[in-house]
Amino acid sequence: MTKFCYAAALFIDVSMSPGTTTSISRTAAEHHGPPTSAISRFQQYWQCNVPPAWALLAVILPIPRFRVVDHVDPTEVIALSQFASGRISDLALPDPTLAQSRKMEFFEDNPVSMTSESVLRDASRVTRLENVGEQQFQGRLRAWLEIADAEDDRTELGRAMIRQLCVRFVSTRLRFTDLISRNPQILDETIEAPIVIVGPFRSGTTHLVNLLAADSRLRSLPLWESYEPIRASNLQVDEDMRIRRETGARAWHELHEMLPMLRAMRPVEPDHVHEDVELFGPDFGLLRWETLAIVRPWPDVSMSHADQLPHYIFMRDMLKALQWQRGPRRWVLKAPHHAEHLDVLMKVFPDATVVVTYRDPLAIVSSVATLAAYLSRLEYRAVDLEVLGEYWMDRIDRLLRGGMNGARFVPERQLVEVDFQDFMIHKLDVVRKVYESADLEIHLTQLERMNSYLSGHPRKKDGQIVYDLARDFNIAPVDLRERFSYYYERYPGVNV
């Protein structure tokens, strides 16, 4: 889910180019071809107007520049089996890995500028483009940066992560605007009958969307593509895809060096399907903004919850561009955040099949709060776990209520409800249920692809975290169950 996969989405930028570029390896390749020797790489980044300090850092980072995740030895990252099981005992007082310490020390010594002017300038420098389209997003961009900059307990690495995310989003916006200006027929594309998974965080949505995406007839959004969705105009398609994928793989590799227990909670790799909420980023919309708040609520700098239509239209147009770049044409999408905006979702995608997963709120809050607390060590100097736990209980409450209230906007024949426990036991039966609603036939070839995915991704293959709400967040399970009594009444089977 983007709420937490967003750490990799942020980190991809600071790992490639702390301070300026969106994807330094892609920038060099766009203008001068793939880097070769260390000296030539430095020269290429310098010629791309990357400041020499950052160009030098990108060359001397200890991790190889291009890492395809299939070729990474897990023991080279960290012996994950030694770390990815049990309870995380240092949530309140993190004990950083060596990789995390090095990264944080670098940015403490080299703080970044948090002005919107510098972000716009760097994005234009990276892309060599200037037309960002409509200008209203700049107010939201400015607010993102100002709010993050004003957090006294945010680390310099955390500030750099937010800034570089903004550079990447503006860069994508520039490339998207340029692509549409050269190919206006893209906006004539249609997004037909997408399958949209909108269950709450930690309720099996990631596993389900990846299982459905194994069907070669469906178009999905891989993690690496969500980071850089618009391909370079002057590169061959295969070369551009290779560079974008390897950039994502390298970021994945470095992130897991800093957070070795992440895979046990969030077993996602560069080719796994990501959330479409990432496509709201270049418009600096509310849905993507909310993913950045992991320890406390942030002000709504986008629009009111009742006025998300322009952002959804922007996201739909991004899907059109992606579809135009490569097929197939029928999408399978997912993002928990859609649950609060099902009315808008159905206006923009009226023929969508909406899949709502549900799970015991006790399990959801335990998992999501622990994951948020673990990720926060990169961005914050200290975290009040009780405040964080209460924030996530409120956030999940809002999401579940929004989904229950919004279900009335989805025609009954287009709505599919999936119990988490049932999905874990009867995965292909759930697929058949979804396909029946989506009017899709299941062919033997597609079943074989899905079974192949399942055999390669058993649950808990990367370890299992022990969650303790009472001990870590001072939340009594009995109090949580009382707070979510309305949900247990609606889905009595989840109380396990």
What's the pLDDT at 42? 38
Q: Which two tokens stand for residue 8?
A: 């990799």
What's the pLDDT at 56? 35
The tens digit of pLDDT for each residue in 170-216 reads 999 999 999 999 999 999 999 999 999 999 988 999 999 999 999 99
Q: How far apart are CA 308 and CA 342, in angstroms?
A: 11
DSSP 8-state secondary structure symbol assigned to residue 233: T
Question: How far is C-alpha 491 from the geometric centre of its chain's CA atoms?
Answer: 28
Q: Cis bond leading into 328, ω under 30°?
A: yes
Q: Pick the closest to residue 311 from 292, 289, 339 (CA basis).
A: 289
Q: Pick the closest to residue 466 from 4, 202, 85, 91 (CA basis).
A: 85
Residues contacting 93, CB < 8 A, separation 6+: none
Q: Computed over its alpha carbons, how large is the radius of gyration of the chain? A: 22
DSSP 8-state secondary structure symbol assigned to residue 329: S
Q: Domain of 122?
A: 2-494
Q: How far apart are CA 55 and CA 50, in angstroms?
A: 6
Q: How many CA atoms lie within 13 A of 397 on its CB side?
A: 13
Measured in degrees and rounded to the nearest 5, phi and psi for residue 417 equal -105, 135
What's the pLDDT at 306? 53
Would the CA dihedral through 106, 263, 418, 213 be positive or negative? positive
Measured in degrees and rounded to the nearest 5, phi and psi for residue 88 equal -80, 110
Stretches where the chain sits below pLDDT 50 are: 1-6, 8-9, 11-25, 27-83, 303-304
Secondary element (H or E) of residue 417: strand 415-419
Q: Pick the closest to residue 202 from 367, 360, 85, 87 (CA basis).
A: 367
Is residue 230 within 8 A of residue 179, CB to CB? The reply is yes
Q: How far apart are CA 262 and CA 40, in angstroms?
A: 35
Residues contacting 397, CB < 8 A, separation 6+: 483, 484
- Tell me how many degrees the CA angle 124-127-132 measures, rounded to the nearest 5: 55
The tens digit of pLDDT for each residue in 9-61 reads 454 444 443 333 334 445 444 444 444 444 444 344 433 444 433 333 333 33
Q: Pick the closest to residue 256 from 405, 265, 295, 444 (CA basis).
A: 265
Measured in degrees and rounded to the nearest 5, phi and psi for residue 72 equal -90, 125
For residue 41, what is the domain's CATH number? 3.40.50.300
Distances, alpha carbon 2 to alpha carbons 21, 273, 288, 445, in Å: 22, 11, 8, 30
Tell me how crowded residue 427 is: count the other CB atoms within 10 A of its CB. Answer: 17
Q: How many domains does the chain have?
A: 1
Q: How far apart are CA 420 and CA 494, in angstroms?
A: 8
pTM of the model: 0.84
